[in-house]
Amino acid sequence: MSKQLLLDLGERAGWTGVQAALGLVVVELADLPVWWAAPAALALSSAKGWVAGRLGRAGTASTLSATADPASHPWGV
């Protein structure tokens, strides 16, 4: 596996874990049934993508830099 692929995989897995954990925290604090964690995590994922699209690499929802983001080099370089 290339370094860029590992960075992309790590970023995606890391953000998924953070969003799931925050979704659980939100439903616990709001005293909601645990199944609400999934929609809460979905909302957090959408918000993260929106913010990253404006602050991260242009044209993507990635928080990786342009040099680390595989989308910057679609030909695999």
What is the pLDDT at residue 43? 94
What is the band of 64 on the pLDDT scale with cuts at 50, 70, 90? confident
Model-wide pTM > 0.85 = no
Q: Give the number of other CB atoms < 10 A from CB of residue 37.
A: 20
Report whether pLDDT(16) > 60: yes
> At a CB cut-off of 8 Å and minimum separation 6, what does 40 contact?
22, 23, 26, 27
Report whether pLDDT(75) > 90: no
What is the pLDDT at residue 57? 76
Report whether pLDDT(10) > 60: yes
How does pLDDT run across 17-35, given as a tens digit for each residue?
A: 999 999 999 999 999 999 9
